[in-house]
Amino acid sequence: MVPTRWLSSPFHTCCAILNRKFGNRWIGRTGNHKWPPRSPDLTPLDFSLWGKLKADVYHNAPTTKEDMRERIQRACAAIDQDTSMCNTVDKRFRQCLAVDGHHFEPL
């Protein structure tokens, strides 16, 4: 059983739970698969969300500060909730492994 509150759990307890639940399949600083520090190739917000929001907001140049706020709010509200980044994250993990952790062109 996975506890619902990990905030105050000791670090070794969290790792033990992850190992028990996911075996060798979890990614983290102390897991078998190290997570690259600040890897934009693997972070869904970097490779997907920010580019789409920027394209939507700046499709036509905002004219005022209020116009900019409204555009940002509309762009955020228009994000398709059914779109899952999980499908593309797997491809990015595989690509990152293929280039031995070095930079690679966007997929």
pLDDT, tens digit (0-9, with 9 covering 90-100), for 21-77: 888 777 777 777 666 666 666 666 666 677 888 888 998 988 999 999 999 999 888
Q: How many domains does the chain have?
A: 2
Mean pLDDT over residues 1-27, rounded?
A: 68
Mention every residue, 6+ apart, whose C-beta is less than 8 A from residue 35. Answer: 27, 28, 29, 42
C-alpha span between 63 and 32 (Å, rounded): 50
Q: Are residues 3 and 42 in the same domain?
A: no
Q: Are residues 16 and 30 in the same domain?
A: yes
Q: Are residues 8 and 49 in the same domain?
A: no
Mean pLDDT over residues 2-27, rounded?
A: 69
**What is the domain range of residue 53?**
38-106
Q: Are residues 74 and 98 in the same domain?
A: yes
Q: Are residues 42 and 30 in the same domain?
A: no
Q: Are residues 7 and 20 in the same domain?
A: yes
Residue-level pLDDT at 101? 76
- pLDDT-based confidence at residue 11 (cuts at 50, 70, 90): low
pTM of the model: 0.41
Residue-level pLDDT at 82? 47
Q: Are residues 30 and 42 in the same domain?
A: no
Q: Are residues 16 and 46 in the same domain?
A: no
